[in-house]
Amino acid sequence: MKTCCGLLLLAVSILINSGSSAAFHKKLVLKGASSDAKEYPSAFVSRNLPPRIKMNLQASSAPDFSPDTKAQRKSHQYSLGPRHYPPLHSSVPVDYDPKERPFTRAAQNVFSSVSDRFSLLKTRGGILQQPPRLKIFQELNTIGITRAPTVVAKAATKKVEISKLDVAVFVTYFCNLVVLTSGVVTIPAIAAEHNLSPSATAAFCASMASLAPLGGFVGKLVNGFVCQKLGGQRSSFVYMLMLSALSLGISFTKRLAPVGFFVVGFEFLCSIQWVSICALMDLNYRRKPQMKARGISILSVSSVLGALFAKTFGSVLLTATEWRTVCRFGAMTGLLGAAAMYVCGSAPKSLFEKNSNIATRVSAGGQQQISPLASLKKVLSNPLFWLISMGHSLGHLAKVSDKLLGPMLQEIGGISSSMAVGLTSSVTI
């Protein structure tokens, strides 16, 4: 009996001590929690506190998201900035009700959050209602993307139109080379007409070939300033008329002495055509680089075709007739080139035509006058000029060699002068 009473008293004392210690521990926890909540509210919520304490603290610190205060939430959003929605993974949701299931409450929170965000986007002109400027920009961008391939395809399939100036360039320079190359055909025939020996014929052709570069040198030195004074079209037209008259004049000569002067005159008059045509293209195609490049290509092609035509057709014509007929045919060809330049080579009045003696260059400080001597000095001081001149001189030597190739083939092979002239086409090719 005494033992049972002792055990009962021991159990009662243990219960009393445990209750007092639990109450004391609860006071300490609440005291520390209240102080931590004041200083570190976010850290306090994340601590392992009893659920009821967590619920009370979150309810006091979290904003009210109930449907009754929806208008207040919007006013609060526009006045104070963007809202901070409570995390969906929170252990205790807002407005906690123990009777509700956790899954149902979480689904309702997700739905309300998404609906609020979409309503905000709709109000501010977000995804649901795009601003008018954004719509216009998207429409223009779509039009540009859809129409760009069409424009590129049309530009690629568009036919290149040949202008009147291109026709004038081709015909004029073609006729210029026909008249110039006719000397290759006629010089051996002139020597054969005077019954010269093969060695004398070769010497005569060599002397003519040595005189020809002299006329070209003087022409390239002087004709640039003539073109600067008269203009591209006018200088080309006048020189083609003079070339036609010179080709007609050589057909009436009966001596060998004046033939050299005619050959020098041919080279002098033909040397201006390249300069005048390039000046004319620069005047018309200054802001059209593609058309200017096409014009230079046409100029080069017409040069080769003119030389080939003069050698092939001239040799055939020489077998049927005499050399005087070939010279007169060259005179008619020169008239055709002059007419083409006069009709199709019209262009607006150039800057060179407005100034008779000097060229005028407009600079930032006003008009600066450049004399011909100053222009020549500036060109000669450019190292690029000397590089181009060296290459051009070597090409000119190869071109002039066909005047010696014909007599050499005629002497070595014992063939006619017309056949020898036809074989010189290999140099042109």
pLDDT of residue 166: 86
Is residue 214 exposed (0-12), middle (13-18) or buried (19+ Cβ within 10 Å)?
Answer: middle
pLDDT of residue 245: 92
- Amino acid at position 249, single letter: G
Domain 167-428 homologous superfamily, CATH? MFS general substrate transporter like domains (1.20.1250.20)
Could you tell me which residues are beta bridge partners of residue 361?
A: 368
Q: Which residue has the higher pLDDT, 404 or 210?
A: 210
Q: What is the mean pLDDT of the chain?
A: 68
Could you tell me the pLDDT band of residue 102, with boundaries at 50, 70 and 90? low
pLDDT of residue 9: 60
Could you tell me the pLDDT band of residue 116, with boundaries at 50, 70 and 90? low
Worst-scoring range by mean pLDDT, 77-86, 214-223, 410-419?
77-86
Worst-scoring range by mean pLDDT, 26-30, 386-390, 393-397?
26-30
For residue 137, pLDDT over 80 is answered with: no
**CA separation, residue 209 to residues 201, 322, 429 (Å):** 12, 21, 20
For residue 125, pLDDT over 70 is answered with: no
Could you tell me the pLDDT band of residue 237, with boundaries at 50, 70 and 90? very high
For residue 325, pLDDT over 50 is answered with: yes
d(CA 312, CA 426): 11
pLDDT of residue 224: 82
Q: Which residue has the higher pLDDT, 54 or 251?
A: 251
> Do residues 207 and 427 touch, judged by C-beta distance below 8 A?
no
Angle at 325 between CA 324 and CA 329, to 5 degrees: 120
Worst-scoring range by mean pLDDT, 107-111, 122-126, 194-198?
122-126
pLDDT of residue 156: 46
Where in the chain are the domains?
Answer: 167-428
What percentage of the chain reaches a pLDDT higher than 70? 48
Could you tell me the pLDDT band of residue 192, with boundaries at 50, 70 and 90? confident
d(CA 427, CA 408): 14
The stretch 304-317 carries a mean pLDDT of 86
Residues recorded for the chain: 429
pLDDT of residue 24: 46
pLDDT of residue 15: 52
How far from each other are the two terminal CA atoms of the chain, in whole angstroms? 143
Q: Which residue has the higher pLDDT, 184 or 218?
A: 218
At 368 the three-state DSSP class reads strand
Give the contacts of 340 (CB within 8 A, at least 6 positions apart): 167, 168, 171, 172, 175
> Do residues 306 and 181 touch, judged by C-beta distance below 8 A?
yes
pLDDT of residue 411: 67
pLDDT of residue 174: 92
d(CA 107, CA 50): 25
State pLDDT tens for residues 346-366.
654 444 444 444 444 444 444
d(CA 283, CA 227): 13
What DSSP designation does 68 have? G
Q: For residue 109, how many C-alpha atoms fall within 13 Å in the half-sphere facing its CB?
A: 19
For residue 139, pLDDT over 90 is answered with: no
Which is it for the CA torsion 142, 143, 146, 149, positive or negative?
negative
State pLDDT tens for residues 103-112.
555 556 655 6
pLDDT of residue 113: 60
Q: What is the pTM of this model?
A: 0.55
Helices and strands, number each (H, E), in the chain? 18, 2
Give 112-121's long-range contacts (Cβ < 8 A, gap of 24+): 112/65, 113/85, 113/88, 116/73, 120/77
For residue 242, pLDDT over 90 is answered with: yes
